[in-house]
Amino acid sequence: MKTLSKLSMMCVALMASTSLYAENPDIFVESVAADSVNTGNNTESVKSYHFGRREVIFDDNGIHFLKDRNNFDSSFDDEDQRNAKPYWSSPDGGKTMEYNGNGSTNGNESGNNQANSKPKQKKYRHFSSSLSSLDLGVVQFASEPLSINLDDDVNYMDNRGFQLYFANAAGLPIIDRHLGFCVGVGGKIDFYTFSNKNLVLEKGKNHLIYYTDTVQSYKKSKLTNTYLTVPMAIEVHAKGAWMLAGVEGNLLLWSNTKMKTTSGEKNRTHSNFYQNLFSYNLIAKVGVDCVGAYVRANLSPMFQKDKGPELYPFSAGVSFWF
């Protein structure tokens, strides 16, 4: 009986609210608009951050992750258009309630204004470049530029190399969001772990000296180069896919070798080993969304002429666009 009485009371309340709405339909619209105004007034600080084609918004309601390819990398002619005030239209279509920033609303005749107003044309002043990426791949030596072959006379430099690359870049649109010129700055670390674990590299008086240590037994012999890089590229975006081609300038910051014995001892030598301070390489990337593949090929030799082996590093791997 108690359950039946509760159900009957709920039905009566529902019927009463329905009849109330039929007699005065604007009552609920006004309350919703008022609640929306209050919500806008309480939200005082909103912070937005762009990561590639993604946007993260921090406000009083929490953290929001947005992804909209059609709206990123764009801005309006007038900065005030970006900070347009929110509005709520009433059912009659003649009045517009506009929030003026101080907790109150203004009623404006907006029918004619909205009909005569023309939307401002967007100008794309930014171009999100996939040069802003984290690259992981393998790096090897070749005896000639744009080649993958290593001659027998420099076979002692055979290795299992690993490359870590990171950069941040800015883009200038050439054709809207589809074609742009990009330039950035980043860092690159090449780790060359030699196949000959007992290989020793030393900086001689006039040239690089190498030999195999037969006295001690080594677990690892490695050369590490760290570069400051400046990439420049032409990039194309089309239907979620992207590709770029360009050139990178490299500045050798420091270099060192590390040899680890089977007993756990580590011997490090810091030297440039007659390597070229400046170098440059070609770069190409292709991908979909935030994941792609890359190749790099040096056009300048790694070592100075007649002071070391003629080697041209090249690398390939995966690229993560952020």
Q: In this structure, what CATH number is given to the domain that contains residue 303?
A: 2.40.160
Residue 19 lies in a domain: no
Q: State the SS3 of the chain.
A: CHHHHHHHHHHHHHHHHHHHHHHCCHHHHHHHHHHHHHHHHHCCCCEEEEECCEEEEEECCEEEEEECCCCCCCECCCHHHHCCCCEEECCCCCEEEEECCCCCEEEEECHHHHHHCCCCCCECCCCCCCCCEEEEEEEEEECCCCCCCCCHHHHHHCEEEEEEEEEEEEEEEEECCCEEEEEEEEEEEEEEEECCCCEEEEECCCCEEEEECCCCCEEEEEEEEEEEEEEEEEEEEECCEEEEEEEEEEEEEEEEEEEEECCCCEEEEECCCCECCEEEEEEEEEEECCEEEEEEEECCCCECCCCCCCCEEEEEEEEEEC
For residue 159, give both structure tokens.
């290795």
Instruction: Say if residue 176 is in the same domain as residue 245.
Output: yes
Residue 65 lies in a domain: yes
| pLDDT on residue 322 | 75
| pLDDT on residue 36 | 38
For residue 110, give both structure tokens.
């907006």
Residue finishing a domain among 63, 88, 116: 116
Instruction: Say if residue 307 is in the same domain as residue 209.
Output: yes
Residue 11 lies in a domain: no
Residue 215 lies in a domain: yes
Looking only at the bridges linking them, the beta strands covering 241-261 and 266-270 are: antiparallel
The CA distance from 83 to 135, in Å, is: 37
Instruction: Say if residue 109 is in the same domain as residue 145.
Output: no
| pLDDT on residue 47 | 72
Residue 2 lies in a domain: no
Instruction: Say if residue 100 is in the same domain as residue 138.
Output: no
Nearest-CA neighbor of 247 among 231, 227, 229, 228?
A: 231
For residue 309, give both structure tokens.
């082996």
- What is the domain extent for residue 212? 133-321
| pLDDT on residue 122 | 55
| pLDDT on residue 128 | 85
Residue finishing a domain among 85, 116, 147: 116
Instruction: Say if residue 223 is in the same domain as residue 101.
Output: no
Instruction: Say if residue 223 is in the same domain as residue 293.
Output: yes
Instruction: Say if residue 240 is in the same domain as residue 308.
Output: yes
Residue ranges in the chain modelled with pLDDT below 50? 2, 4, 18-22, 25-43, 68-105, 107-111, 115
Residue 14 lies in a domain: no
The CA distance from 276 to 121, in Å, is: 50
Count of domains observed in the chain: 2
The CA distance from 48 to 57, in Å, is: 4
Instruction: Say if residue 79 is in the same domain as residue 167.
Output: no
Instruction: Say if residue 246 is in the same domain as residue 212.
Output: yes
Nearest-CA neighbor of 234 among 184, 288, 180, 169?
A: 180
Residue 89 lies in a domain: yes
Residue finishing a domain among 89, 116, 143: 116
The CA distance from 132 to 12, in Å, is: 63
Instruction: Say if residue 106 is in the same domain as residue 137.
Output: no
The CA distance from 160 to 145, in Å, is: 19
Instruction: Say if residue 179 is in the same domain as residue 79.
Output: no
Instruction: Say if residue 93 is in the same domain as residue 160.
Output: no
The CA distance from 40 to 101, in Å, is: 8
Residue 4 lies in a domain: no
